[in-house]
Amino acid sequence: ERANSGVSENETERTLKRVLRAVDELEQEGKRATMTELCRKLQGIDLKKRRDAFQTLRECGYLIAVEVPTATKPVTIFRRVNVSE
């Protein structure tokens, strides 16, 4: 399965893998993968491509988004879903 391999066939696939790596890195650092944290890590990707990547990864079951209430407004946290075939 290419989504988990290290080789990308095109720019879209590279973007998807960068997003997944960013989520993994934040989790390994003990941080929550909020949109703010992910935008900081992925600022080299333009907004539309970044949004498309998140939507694609959620629709394909690689990421889930969990809304967490805070004192002011809810925060969306992205988590990686372990996909095995």
* CB-count burial class (<10 Å; 0-12, 13-18, 19+) for 42: buried
H-helix or E-strand spanning residue 6:
none
pTM of the predicted protein model: 0.81
Q: Which tens digit of pLDDT belongs to each residue from 21-40?
A: 999 999 999 999 999 999 99
Cα separation, 7 vs 26, in Å, equals 22
Contact of 9 with 2, CB cutoff 8 Å: yes
7 is written with which tokens? Answer: 């080789």
| Closest by CA position to 38, among listed 60, 15, 59 | 15
Q: Which tens digit of pLDDT belongs to each residue from 55-83?
A: 999 999 999 999 999 999 999 999 999 76
